[in-house]
């Protein structure tokens, strides 16, 4: 395996110097400084070269993976050069941490300061005095700080040694954390002093992001130092997320087997962080949630708790971890699909910074993709286009059967030739390979015919001979190549083309809408085809999680019997047909879920399932209990006790309270407030009350939310619908633009009137 210090030539960068000959100035100084000041006995990776480059006054660009030791590349020169270095860093929350680290090396706290909007006037004055007097060698600033004229004037009046721009990928919208203020840095630096050298540093940069950085920061013929992005010690695995219950169970199990080891779980939204943390806590795991909605004191406390190991697991939105310097994080779990490969790389990169074990597990469901798309819905079109491209790249990474490392490295523009990395799920369980020489030739012929002007999807449509409107528009159905790959399906061509991209037989131009282009290697291959073995992609079929939010909240704690669950669903379908009712009126999905977990074989036992009351058990329960009894008998089922996961304790008994207050026609907002529930949680409770057979007359509340016609429309819809999903209902009723609460409350009314 390549190690972290290997130099890689990167395609598409302007003026990349293959061999950089940097004059060694101050060489005596820098070795002793490394020892005396920082206490390290040798440089890591390409630190030394980068430091010389900066000391010689060159613009310098350092690309090293997380934990590679980028900070030293500017900290050490700052100590040597006359004046104070300005370090631009994106997150105010982490500046203090960084300053503390620098101060830790020095006897004098004045050596480093930060200047940002969190300081008061007196503090600002003190910082300025230290800078003016020359005591301060490193000044950390937020990009916003540099946009203030008074600060610029101040910086013009003192001796500055150089600019360092940390997390430089923030300058590019193709990176994983675009910060528009970064775009103005060049302008600001020019105003302070055009002549000063600039050092840019980042841990993640695809070739595209790299060239954005060089361009937007206006780096002048920079010396570029790139280390390999491979992280030898990280293990990558991707698992389908089929049932949320099961996913949570396997996470709890994993963490329980890794007692005392620190880890991060990333999720997409705040609510999930809290729910997951709650479940972990219920299972004796020291966990906390972390997200931008918490106040800063609480966030700082939780971050500290994690650093000093009072907290084992932090369940966080991606807001957490940027710049976190905890070397011994042993696992990073993605509960949702990250929005780009860069995000994934950056987030998993926080594991194993000390070079020891680091497990990276991602749970993936198709639903995550729509969630990510949903998150972008309000963004401007160009941003959505970029976002969609990034998601589609991530998807291909997730679904691939090829070595994960190979795909990651390829994404970062590195070559990766190792047959089996030995540290990813696909390499540990390699799939059989299929010869695809003839098909590869077909692909190349099509791409040639299309002259590199069309994307993956279009190319596949030509191969499969599909007459889409755009194909017809270009008259491509007349091409001799049209339909030459009919005998194979879309998945096959997808797998093949992605692997041809990995092998450089083709190239995808992400900047240009993902057009598929020819490469010299592809040209050669077409002339003289050789064996081309591919693995067919995991399709992750069925990786479609049920509704995550409610499932996590209503978590029953143990794994569902998938087979039984399907049988119960079928039975419900049959009964529904017989009774002329929508299936969910009979039992909710959550009830079936419980049945497939608890195996109730009598009506009394059936009542223990969520959403099944006496009335319901009597009315609909019999065939279900019979089916389960037979299933239990046939399959010799005993209650599984290998690993029992505790679920979250039911939040008090709200039910009686709710029933009484609805009787009194108390506004729902008030009920919710009194019980410390959100409206959606209240409705959830109400639905489970109604589902178990108690009537709630909600008309007083409904009349406030919807007029009569609207109510009729929704009831009509529910009468004929196939699924109880509110998402589907919203789509089907899109023209009316009903919100979730409106549909939910009508579904409750419907259940009440038709189900009981």
Binding site for Mg ion (CB under 5 A): 70
Task: Kindly state the tokens that stand for 548.
Answer: 């995550």
Task: Report, in Å, the least distance between residue 662 CB and ligand ADP.
Answer: 55
Q: Could you say which of ligand ADP, Mg ion, Zn ion, none residue 44 binds, taking C-beta under 5 to 8 angstroms by partner kind?
A: ligand ADP
| Residue from 72, 252, 496, 745 binding ligand ADP (CB under 6 A) | 72
Segment lying near ligand ADP (by CB under 6 A), choices 59-67, 365-373, 431-439, 685-693:
59-67
CB of 164 to ligand ADP, least distance (A): 11
Distance CA 274, CA 678 (A): 14
In whole angstroms, the minimum distance from the beta carbon of 167 to Mg ion comes to 7
Residue 12 C-beta: closest distance to Mg ion, Å: 25
Q: Please compute, for residue 98, the number of CA atoms within 13 A of its CA located in the half-sphere on the CB side.
A: 26
Q: What is the DSSP string of 274-316?
A: HHHHHHHHHTT--EEEE-TTS-HHHHHHHHHHHHTTS-SEEEE
Which of these segments, 36-44, 216-224, 307-315, 706-714, binds ligand ADP (CB under 6 A)? 36-44
If the CB atoms of residues 106 and 269 are measured against ligand ADP, the closer one turns out to be 106
- Residue 114 near residue 102, CB atoms below 8 Å: no
Instruction: Give the residue, chosen from 16, 60, 71, 262, that forms a contact with ligand ADP under the rule CB under 6 A.
Output: 71
**Cβ proximity to ligand ADP, 326 vs 744, nearer residue:** 326
Nearer Cβ to ligand ADP, position 233 or 575? 233
d(CA 116, CA 124): 9
Instruction: Determine the 3-state secondary structure of 158 from DSSP.
Output: coil
Alpha-carbon gap, residue 612 to 589, rounded angstroms: 11
CB of 421 to Zn ion, least distance (A): 3
The window from 69-77, 216-224, 364-372, 605-613 that contacts ligand ADP (CB under 6 A) reads 69-77
Q: What size, in residues, is the chain?
A: 756
How many angstroms from the chain centroid is the CA of residue 723? 29
210 burial (CB, 10 Å; 0-12 / 13-18 / 19+) is: buried
* Choice between 104 and 529, CB closer to ligand ADP: 104
Q: Taking CB under 6 A as the rule, does residue 273 contact ligand ADP? A: no
Q: Which is nearer to Zn ion, 362 or 552 (CB)?
A: 362
Residue 9 CB, shortest distance to ligand ADP, in Å, is 21
The yes or no reply on residue 352 touching ligand ADP (CB under 6 A) is no
> Rounded to an integer, what distance in angstroms lies between the CA atom of residue 38 and that of residue 712?
73
Distance (Å, rounded) from C-alpha 686 to C-alpha 670? Answer: 14
The tokens describing 234, both together, are 């990280």
State yes or no: residue 611 binds ligand ADP (CB under 6 A): no
Q: Specify the DSSP class assigned to residue 602.
A: S
Distance CA 244, CA 31 (A): 54
State the nearest-atom distance from the C-beta of 5 to ligand ADP, in Å: 11
Phi-psi label, residue 321: left if phi above 0, alpha if psi -120 to 50, beta otherwise: left
Instruction: Confirm or reject binding of residue 40 to ligand ADP (CB under 6 A).
Output: yes
Interaction of residue 60 with ligand ADP, rule CB under 6 A: no
Residue 424 near which of Zn ion, ligand ADP, Mg ion, none (CB within 5-8 Å, type-dependent) = Zn ion
- Please identify, using beta-carbon distances, which residue of 76 and 268 lies nearer to ligand ADP: 76
Choose the one of Mg ion, ligand ADP, Zn ion, none that binds residue 191, judging by a C-beta under 5 to 8 angstroms depending on kind: none
Residues at the contact surface with Zn ion, assessed by CB under 5 A:
403, 405, 421, 424, 427
Q: What's the token pair of residue 407?
A: 């795909």
Q: Is beta strand 358-364 parallel, antiparallel or unpaired with respect to 329-334?
A: parallel
Rounded to the nearest whole angstrom, what is the least distance from the CB of residue 257 to Zn ion in the complex? 23
SS (H, E, C) 442-509: HHHHHHHHHCCCCEHHHHHHHHHCCCCHHHHHCCHHHCCCCCCCCCCCHHHHHHHHHHHHHCCCEEEE
Question: How many binding residues for ligand ADP (CB under 6 A)?
Answer: 14
Using an 8 Å Cβ cutoff, are 270 and 319 in contact?
Answer: no
350 in contact with ligand ADP (CB under 6 A): no
**20, 43, 492, 647: which one binds ligand ADP (CB under 6 A):** 43
Determine if 67 is a binding residue for ligand ADP (CB under 6 A): yes
**In the complex with ligand ADP, which residue's Cβ is closer, 94 or 189?**
94
Nearer to Mg ion, 70 or 137 (CB): 70
Q: Which residues contact 77 (CB under 8 A, 6 or more apart)?
A: 51, 54, 55, 85, 161, 162, 199
**Number of Cβ within a 10 Å radius of residue 565:** 17
Euclidean distance between CA atoms 365 and 581, whole angstroms? 30
Query: Encoding tokens for residue 530?
Result: 């050789």
Closer CB to ligand ADP, 64 or 408, in the complex: 64
d(Cα 89, Cα 71) in Å, to the nearest integer? 11
Q: Which does residue 421 bind out of Mg ion, ligand ADP, Zn ion, none, counting CB within 5 to 8 angstroms by kind?
A: Zn ion
Q: Does 103 bind ligand ADP (CB under 6 A)?
A: no
Token pair, residue 667, equals: 């506004």
Comparison of 105 and 518: residue with beta carbon closer to ligand ADP: 105
In this structure, are residues 364 and 544 in contact, taking their beta carbons and an 8 Å threshold?
Answer: no
Minimum CB–partner distance for residue 403 and Zn ion (Å): 3
H helix and E strand count, the chain: 34, 17
Interaction mask 196-235, ligand ADP, x per CB under 6 A: -------x--------------------------------
If you compute the radius of gyration of the chain from its CA atoms, what whole number of angstroms results?
Answer: 30
- At residue 569, the 3 state secondary structure works out as helix
Q: How far is the CB of 85 from ligand ADP (least distance, A)?
A: 15
How many other β-carbons are positioned within 10 Å of the β-carbon of residue 670? Answer: 10
Residue 43 interacts, among ligand ADP, Zn ion, Mg ion, none and using kind-specific CB cut-offs from 5 to 8 Å, with ligand ADP
Sole binder of ligand ADP in the list 66, 228, 340, 654 (CB under 6 A): 66
Q: Which is nearer to Mg ion, 177 or 368 (CB)?
A: 177
User: Which helix (H) or strand (E) is 254 found in, with range?
Assistant: helix 244-257
The secondary structure of 526-565 as a DSSP string is HHS----EEEPPP--TT-----HHHHHHT--SS---HHHH
Residue 113, interface with ligand ADP (CB under 6 A)? no
Residue partners of 374: CB distance under 8 A and separation at least 6: none
* Contact criterion met (CB below 8 Å) for 167 and 177: yes
Q: Is 254 a binder of ligand ADP (CB under 6 A)?
A: no
Q: How far is the CB of 345 from Mg ion (least distance, A)?
A: 15
- Considering the complex, state which of residue 94 and residue 311 has its C-beta at the smaller distance from Mg ion: 94
Residue 68 interacts with ligand ADP (CB under 6 A)? Answer: yes
- Angstrom distance (rounded) from CA 624 to CA 628: 6
Give me the least distance between CB of 82 and Zn ion, in Å please: 49
Q: Closest separation between CB of residue 418 and Zn ion, Å?
A: 8
Q: What is each CA distance from 428 to 234, 237, 422, 534, in whole angstroms? A: 14, 10, 6, 16
**Shorter beta-carbon distance to Zn ion: residue 182 or 235:** 235
312 binds ligand ADP (CB under 6 A): no
Q: Does residue 44 belong to the site contacting ligand ADP (CB under 6 A)?
A: yes
Q: Say which entry of Zn ion, Mg ion, ligand ADP, none residue 389 contacts (CB below 5 to 8 A, set by partner kind).
A: none
Closest to ligand ADP by CB, 43 vs 363, is 43
Nearer to ligand ADP, 4 or 593 (CB): 4
The answer to whether residue 325 forms part of the interface with ligand ADP (CB under 6 A) is: yes
**328 lies in the binding site for ligand ADP (CB under 6 A):** no
In the bound state with Mg ion, the residue whose beta carbon lies nearer, of 320 and 631, is 320
Where do contacts with ligand ADP occur on this chain (CB under 6 A)? 40, 43-44, 47, 64, 66-72, 203, 325
């Amino acid at each position: 395996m390549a190690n972290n210090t290997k130099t890689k030539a990167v395609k598409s960068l302007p003026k990349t110097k293959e061999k950089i000959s940097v004059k060694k100035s101050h060489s005596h100084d820098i070795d002793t400084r490394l020892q005396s000041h920082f206490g390290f006995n040798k440089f890591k990776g390409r630190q030394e070269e980068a430091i010389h480059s900066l000391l010689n006054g060159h613009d310098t660009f350092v690309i090293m993976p997380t934990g590679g030791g980028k900070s030293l590349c500017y900290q050490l020169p700052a100590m040597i050069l006359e004046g104070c270095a300005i370090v631009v860093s994106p997150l105010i929350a982490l500046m203090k941490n960084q300053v503390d680290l620098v101060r830790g090396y020095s006897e004098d706290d004045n050596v480093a300061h930060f200047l940002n909007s969190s300081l008061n006037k007196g503090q600002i004055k003190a910082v300025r005095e230290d800078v003016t007097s020359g005591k301060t060698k490193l000044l950390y600033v937020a990009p916003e700080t540099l946009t203030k004229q008074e600060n610029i004037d101040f910086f013009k009046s003192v001796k500055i040694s150089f600019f360092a721009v940390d997390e430089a990928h923030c300058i590019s919208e193709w990176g994983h954390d675009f910060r528009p203020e970064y775009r103005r840095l060049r302008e600001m630096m020019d105003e302070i002093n055009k002549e000063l050298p600039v050092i840019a540093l980042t841990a993640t940069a695809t070739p595209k992001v790299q060239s954005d950085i060089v361009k937007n920061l206006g780096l002048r013929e920079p010396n570029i130092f790139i280390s390999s992005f491979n992280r030898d010690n990280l293990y990558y695995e991707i698992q389908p997320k089929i049932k949320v219950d099961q996913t949570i169970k396997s996470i709890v199990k994993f963490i329980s087997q890794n007692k005392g080891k620190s880890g991060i779980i990333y999720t997409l939204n705040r609510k999930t962080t809290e729910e997951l943390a709650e479940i972990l806590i219920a299972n004796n795991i020291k966990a906390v949630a972390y997200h931008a909605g918490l106040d800063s004191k609480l966030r700082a406390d939780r971050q500290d708790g994690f650093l000093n190991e009072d907290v084992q697991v932090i369940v966080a939105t991606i807001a957490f971890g940027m710049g976190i310097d905890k070397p011994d994080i042993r696992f990073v779990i993605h509960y949702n699909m990250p929005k780009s490969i860069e995000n994934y790389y950056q987030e998993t990169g926080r594991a194993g910074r000390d070079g020891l074990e680091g497990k990276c597990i991602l749970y993936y469901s198709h639903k995550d993709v729509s969630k990510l798309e949903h998150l972008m819905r309000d963004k401007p079109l160009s941003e959505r286009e970029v976002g969609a491209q990034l998601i589609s790249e991530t998807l291909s990474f997730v679904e691939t059967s090829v070595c994960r490392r190979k795909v990651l490295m390829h994404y970062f523009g590195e070559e990766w030739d190792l047959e089996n990395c030995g540290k990813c799920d696909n390499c540990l369980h390699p799939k059989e390979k299929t010869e695809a020489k003839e098909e590869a030739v077909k692909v190349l012929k099509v791409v040639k015919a299309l002259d590199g002007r069309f994307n993956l999807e279009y190319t596949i449509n030509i191969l499969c001979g599909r007459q889409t409107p755009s194909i017809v528009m270009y008259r491509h159905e007349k091409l001799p190549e049209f339909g030459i790959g009919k005998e194979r399906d879309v998945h096959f061509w997808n797998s093949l083309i992605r692997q041809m991209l990995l092998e450089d037989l083709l190239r995808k131009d992400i900047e240009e809408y993902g057009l598929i282009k020819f490469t010299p290697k592809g040209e050669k291959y077409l002339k003289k085809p050789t064996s081309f073995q591919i693995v067919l992609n995991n399709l992750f079929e069925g990786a479609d999680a049920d509704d995550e939010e409610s499932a996590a909240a209503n978590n029953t704690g143990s794994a569902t019997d998938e087979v039984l669950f399907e049988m119960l669903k079928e039975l419900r379908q049959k009964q529904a047909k017989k009774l002329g009712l929508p299936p969910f009126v009979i039992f909710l999905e959550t009830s079936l879920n419980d049945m497939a977990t608890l195996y109730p074989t009598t009506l009394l036992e059936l009542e223990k399932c969520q959403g099944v009351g006496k009335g319901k058990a009597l009315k609909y329960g019999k065939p279900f209990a019979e089916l389960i009894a037979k299933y239990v008998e046939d399959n010799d089922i005993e209650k599984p006790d290998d690993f029992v996961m505790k679920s979250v304790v039911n939040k008090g008994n709200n039910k009686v309270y709710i029933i009484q207050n609805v009787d009194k026609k108390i506004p729902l907002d008030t009920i919710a407030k009194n019980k410390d529930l959100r409206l959606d949680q209240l409705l959830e409770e109400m639905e489970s009350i109604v589902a178990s057979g108690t009537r709630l007359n909600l008309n007083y509340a409904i009349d406030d939310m919807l007029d009569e016609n609207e109510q009729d429309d929704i009831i009509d819809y529910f009468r004929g619908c196939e699924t109880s999903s509110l998402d589907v209902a919203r789509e089907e009723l899109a023209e009316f633009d009903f919100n979730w609460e409106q549909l939910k409350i009508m579904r409750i009314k419907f259940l009440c009137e038709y189900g009981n």
